[in-house]
Amino acid sequence: PALVDLRQVSLTYRVGKEETLALADATLSIAKGEFIAVVGPSGCGKSTLMKLVTGLLPPSSGEVHVRGEKVVRPIKGVGMAFQNPTLMPWRTTRDNILLPLEIVAPHKQQFRRKRAEYAARAERLLASVGLGGFGDKYPWQLSGGMQQRSNLCRALIHEPEIMMLDEPFGALDAFTREELWGIMQLLWLERRFTAVLVTHDLREAVYLADTVYVMSRRPGRVVMTKRIDIPRPRT
């Protein structure tokens, strides 16, 4: 069953009198637990597609459905990671990872009461990305790759059903990037979230995704859909 369904979705940005067609008549569906990648040059509408899927933008025409319901406001249960990890420098890695839980807690008291349990959850996540024992370090004490791994932990702490990954490895050197592909794949095999990865890197898309959507330079057009059948390690 489809978790996300885009039905003939178009989006036109209007700034003053200027109109930009950023997504044209896109129809695609993402199954629960599927890993999709969207590749294409800058300006082809990848970020716009992400914002439509998560309900941050309403489509100009067409409909977006998530879990069978028409999306009319930002959806819940989404984890996000971008190119630059936005970790707060004055918080330890652990406290950065706990931040999403702290923000959604209705009262500070409630968060404090569950803190030990949450911290244990953060520790398990850190261990699964190879950062066991690094919870007390501050972001600036970590390398770029380690910061992005912490960033992924933060995105996963509330156990989201959908992960939106916008060029999460784009700022890393080639060696670190490929190391993170392996970690990303392990996280996905363990947790089976649905993932939408935006990337410029075709090798990355093929490595990680079940389905690769290729968008063209003419803004907003999905020109090719390539389903990839990769035998995956069973865990």
Is residue 88 involved in binding ligand ADP (CB under 6 A)?
Answer: yes
Is residue 44 involved in binding ligand ADP (CB under 6 A)?
Answer: yes
Whichever of 14 and 234 has its CB closer to ligand ADP, that residue is 14
Site string for ligand ADP, 214-233 (x = CB under 6 A): -----x--------------
What does the buried/exposed string (b/e) look like for 129-140 if buried means 16 or more CB atoms within 10 Å of the residue's CB?
Answer: bebeebbeeebe
Contact 192, 162 (CB under 8 A): no
Question: Which of these ranges, 43-51, 67-75, 132-140, 223-231, lies near ligand ADP under the rule CB under 6 A?
Answer: 43-51
> Is 212 strand, coil or helix?
strand
Question: Which of these ranges, 13-21, 124-132, 150-158, 175-183, lies near ligand ADP under the rule CB under 6 A?
Answer: 13-21
CB of 59 to ligand ADP, least distance (A): 13
Is residue 79 involved in binding ligand ADP (CB under 6 A)?
Answer: no
Question: Which of these ranges, 45-53, 63-71, 172-180, 226-234, lies near ligand ADP under the rule CB under 6 A?
Answer: 45-53
Is residue 170 involved in binding ligand ADP (CB under 6 A)?
Answer: no
DSSP state, 140? G
Q: How big is the chain, counted in residues?
A: 235
Assign residue 204 a region: left if phi > 0, alpha if psi is -120 to 50, beta otherwise? alpha
Is residue 46 involved in binding ligand ADP (CB under 6 A)?
Answer: yes
Is residue 112 involved in binding ligand ADP (CB under 6 A)?
Answer: no
Task: Tell me the C-alpha distance between 94 and 200, whole Å.
Answer: 31
Q: Which helix (H) or strand (E) holds 9?
A: strand 2-15
Binding-site member from 72, 86, 90, 182 for ligand ADP (CB under 6 A): 90
Question: Which of these ranges, 2-10, 42-50, 109-117, 155-163, lies near ligand ADP under the rule CB under 6 A?
Answer: 42-50
Read off the tokens for 192: 């089976």
Is residue 47 involved in binding ligand ADP (CB under 6 A)?
Answer: yes
CB of 13 to ligand ADP, least distance (A): 3
Read off the tokens for 27: 């129809």
- Scanning the structure block, which residue is given the tokens 């370090």? 137
CB of 68 to ligand ADP, least distance (A): 26
- Report the first-to-last Cα separation within the chain, whole angstroms: 23
Q: Which of these, 75, 76, 68, 64, lies nearest to 26 by C-alpha position?
A: 64
Which spans of this chain sit near ligand ADP (rule: CB under 6 A)? 13, 15, 20, 22, 40, 42-48, 88, 90, 219
